């Protein structure tokens, strides 16, 4: 808003124009002048007395509100009162991240299923994920819960690999390659498989293969040597033993067959 101060009773426009020459559209209501003297302004500026006769458009009456609107426009915030700056308060963020009742229920269901499955038999994390997928639990729900159980040691693929390797070797008589294939089928990490197989030495593998060959030879006593050799070789190969281990185990089994007349070799 532009206010013009008359310099004299004869000069209403403030620029030297007589009263009778001022048009009706340019007349302004009389305003009581401020008693405090204005600070001196350099000539040529917009506020200099010599330029007061030129009216300028009023951008806004409230400069602080205008500043907020301009800032909101620049920040593309839709003009809302951004009291907290560019980030929502902690209470608002916590409310947005708080899980709903359905998520809590699904998380409890995930924990219960996982623990029950692990109580029945050893399972890898991948196997648990397959069970949960069949129960139509979303990965976004069971993922964090499985992470928690893994951090607690309830899910431990490394220990599972060692246990399976020992069981498969001692009870089922599997060789290293068959054990590795079994662990891979359960999606256990390669580094865990390698560490588990390191516990089975070459001597242990040869000893176990020889025991199996001698036992199997007792079931092949009615066959000739060629047929017995072919069948014994296939049997040990399916168990996952390497070719050199198979050869040494077969040699020991046939040596006992010849020495005992087909009755096999008995180990103390």
Average pLDDT of the residues in 113-129: 93
Structural contact between residues 256 and 264, judged by C-beta atoms closer than 8 angstroms: yes
HSE-up of 262 (CA within 13 Å, CB side)? 8
Six token digits for residue 223: 């066959």
Taking only the tens place, the pLDDT of each residue in 199-243 is 998 999 999 999 999 999 989 988 999 999 999 999 999 999 999
Distance (Å, rounded) from C-alpha 116 to C-alpha 131? 11
Q: H-helix or E-strand containing 144?
A: helix 139-151
Query: Is residue 223 classed exposed, middle or buried when 0-12, 13-18 and 19+ CB atoms within 10 A define those classes?
Result: middle
Q: How do residues 173-183 score in pLDDT, each as one tens digit?
A: 999 999 999 99
Predicted local confidence at residue 8, as pLDDT: 47
Q: Is residue 118 pLDDT above 70, yes or no?
A: yes
Q: Is the pLDDT of residue 13 over 60?
A: no
**Lookup: tokens for 141:** 């729900």
Q: What is the pLDDT of residue 68?
A: 46
Quick one: pLDDT at residue 116? 93
Whose tokens are 């608002």? That residue is 92
Which residue from 148, 143, 156 is spatially nearest to 106, judged by alpha carbons? 143
Other CB atoms within a 10 A radius of the CB of residue 176 amount to 21
Q: Which 3 state secondary structure label does DSSP give 51?
A: helix
Each residue's pLDDT tens digit, 190-209: 999 999 999 998 999 999 99
Task: Report residue 117 as tokens.
Answer: 């499955």
Coil, helix or strand for 154?
coil
Q: What is the pLDDT of residue 189?
A: 97
To the nearest 5 percent, what fractions of the chain are helix, strand and coil?
A: 55, 0, 40
Coil/strand/helix, residue 54: coil
- Per cent of the chain over pLDDT 70 is 60
Is the CATH code 1.10.10 the one for domain 201-268? yes
Count Cβ atoms within 10 A of the Cβ of residue 128 and give its class: 0-12 exposed, 13-18 middle, 19 or more buried.
buried
Token pair, residue 41, equals 């302004």
Distances (CA, A) of 6 to 195, 209, 216: 99, 118, 125
Question: Nearest 5°: phi and psi at 8?
Answer: -160, 165
Contact of 236 with 185, CB cutoff 8 Å: no
User: What predicted TM-score, i.e. pTM, was given to this entire model?
Assistant: 0.58
What is the structure's pLDDT at 127? 96
Whose structure tokens read 């909101």?
A: 72
Residue-level pLDDT at 32: 53
Is residue 111 over pLDDT 80?
yes
| pLDDT for the residue 260 | 66
Q: What are the pLDDT digits (tens) for 26-82? A: 455 555 555 554 444 545 545 544 444 444 444 443 444 444 444 444 444 444 444
Tokens representing residue 67 in the block: 């500043």
Better pLDDT: 248 or 49:
248
Which tokens sit at 193?
């498989």
């Amino acid at each position: 808003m532009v206010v013009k101060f008359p310099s004299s009773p004869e000069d209403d426009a403030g620029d030297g124009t007589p009263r009778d020459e001022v048009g009706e559209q340019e007349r302004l209501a009389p305003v009581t002048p401020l008693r405090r003297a204005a600070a001196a302004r350099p000539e040529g500026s917009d506020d200099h007395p010599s330029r007061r006769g030129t009216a300028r458009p009023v951008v806004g009456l409230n400069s602080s509100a205008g500043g907020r609107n301009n800032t909101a426009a620049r920040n593309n915030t839709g003009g809302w009162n951004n009291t907290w700056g560019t980030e929502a308060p902690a209470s608002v963020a916590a409310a947005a991240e708080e899980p709903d009742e359905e998520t809590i229920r699904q998380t409890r269901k995930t924990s219960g299923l996982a623990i029950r499955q692990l109580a029945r038999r050893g399972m890898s994390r991948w196997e648990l994920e397959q069970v949960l997928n069949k129960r139509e639990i979303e990965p976004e729900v069971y993922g964090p819960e499985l992470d928690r159980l893994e951090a607690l040691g309830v899910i431990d693929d490394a220990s599972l690999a060692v246990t399976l390797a020992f069981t498969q070797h001692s009870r089922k008589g599997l060789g290293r390659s068959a054990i590795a294939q079994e662990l891979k089928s359960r999606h256990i990490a390669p580094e865990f498989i390698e560490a588990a197989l390191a516990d089975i030495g070459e001597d242990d593998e040869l000893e176990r293969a020889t025991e199996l060959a001698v036992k199997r030879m007792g079931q092949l006593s009615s066959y000739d040597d060629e047929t017995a050799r072919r069948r014994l070789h296939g049997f040990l190969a399916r168990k996952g033993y390497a070719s050199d281990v198979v050869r040494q185990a077969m040699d020991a089994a046939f040596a006992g067959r010849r020495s005992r007349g087909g009755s096999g070799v008995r180990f103390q």
